[in-house]
Amino acid sequence: MRSLSIALLIFHVSLTAQQAPTGLPKCETKQILELAVCIPMINEFKGYSQTLKIDKLNSEAIRNMTILCDRAAQCLSVNKCQESDNFKKTLEKSCDMLDYLGDPFHCLTEFFKETYSSNGSPTCFQKYDFLEKVLSKKREAFENGKSCFTDYVKDYCNKTSIDFFSKNYQKFVNDISIKPNDTDGQNPHKVLNMFRCNALGKQIQNEILELHALKMESNDTRIPKMNKMCKDMQDCASEYTSISLKNKQKIEHTCSLFETVNQGSFTDCTAKLMGDEPDLSDYKCLEGLDFYDSSNSNVCKKVTTKKECFKKIMGDKCGKEAVVDFDKIVERVAKVMEC
């Protein structure tokens, strides 16, 4: 199965700098010429930014960008006038998020995967809803859950991240819970959201694997979490136009499968069969297929070429209601697994 993870471009720096007047005088011709000297640095920065993908972060490139940021900012500080100041402000916003791109990126990716995970994350994760959508509540969660978050970081992240979050926790909380007013260009709020979407894409993969094994019961406490993951992933997909149509469709299939699984008797029957492993040697229609092997290729056979046989077994073992939605469900399984 191909990865759902979303290769997002981190920046598209817009340095067209349309901002409210700053109260500074307009730049004079001489100052504009001096400003022009800074342009190559900004362009070099943009050059890096156009190739930077969230799942292929290059630490050397990030270091180079940080250096360029400092140099360009110094260059733009020479003249205190409007155009120069606008450029500087826009650049600073882009530079501001570089802090998150190295080690903290890995750390936050693991953190978000963990918050989405349906298998026993640290207990305090249940107390603070770090995935809350309403920003004021999200802020509350990160403020009240500070020790929960920092304990996680201490246990699972590298030293750079531990230092970073202990020094910048309040800034991090602001960045994650305050949406800046200007929507164009890049900013830490958007970047952190992208990290969450990326981690979610990865974690959904893991959850699908659980489903593949068809070992879940409909009362499984993991299922509501999976449904939340799906909804959030759909939000991510609509937010990031760069996610391919194919992946968007896959997200749709996955979510509709989760919904059906939620509904009941089919799921309970497969869980029962997979648990009890009754002897199925009488079923000639299996033609040698090992019903209990949950490898991808085997599950694919069960939902495609052997699906009538699968249906008969389920009907015999669990009764008619277990196969009411059978055709719909196996079709979705086949689509999600790209059988």
Ligand X SMILES: *[C@@H]1O[C@H](CO)[C@@H](O)[C@H](O)[C@H]1NC(C)=O
Binding interface with ligand X (CB under 6 A): 58, 60-61, 64, 103, 106-107, 110, 156-158, 161, 178, 180-181, 217, 219, 221
Which one, 108 or 230, has the nearer CB to ligand X?
108
Query: Encoding tokens for residue 6?
Result: 């979303």
Shortest Å, Cβ 148 to ligand X: 17
Residue 243 C-beta: closest distance to ligand X, Å: 24
Q: Judge whether 87 and 76 are in contact, CB under 8 Å.
A: yes
> What is the closest distance, in whole angstroms, from the C-beta atom of residue 281 to ligand X in the complex?
26
Whole-number Cα distances in Å, 3 to 55, 198, 201, 203, 261: 12, 11, 8, 11, 22
Binning the chain into helix, strand and coil, the percentages to the nearest 5 are 65, 0, 30
Nearest to 189 by CA among 145, 142, 148: 142
Supply the minimum distance, in Å, between the C-beta of residue 180 and ligand X: 5
Nearer to ligand X, 201 or 251 (CB): 201
Q: What letter does residue 219 receive in the DSSP assignment?
A: T
Residue nearest to ligand X (CB): 106
User: Contact at 8 Å (CB) between 84 and 35?
Assistant: yes
> Which is closer to ligand X, CB of 85 or CB of 220?
220
Q: Which residue has the tokens 């959904």?
A: 204
Instruction: Report the nearest approach of ligand X to the CB of residue 105 (Å).
Output: 8
Q: What is the DSSP string of 295-315?
A: -HHHHHHHHTTTHHHHHHHHH
Residue number with CB closer to ligand X (28 or 92): 92
8 A C-beta contact, residue 112 and residue 204: no
Considering the complex, what minimum distance in angstroms separates the CB of residue 316 from ligand X?
19
Output 33 or 67, the one with its CB closest to ligand X.
67
Residue whose CB is less far from ligand X, 140 or 217: 217
If phi > 0 it is left, if psi is from -120 to 50 it is alpha, else beta; for residue 28 that is beta
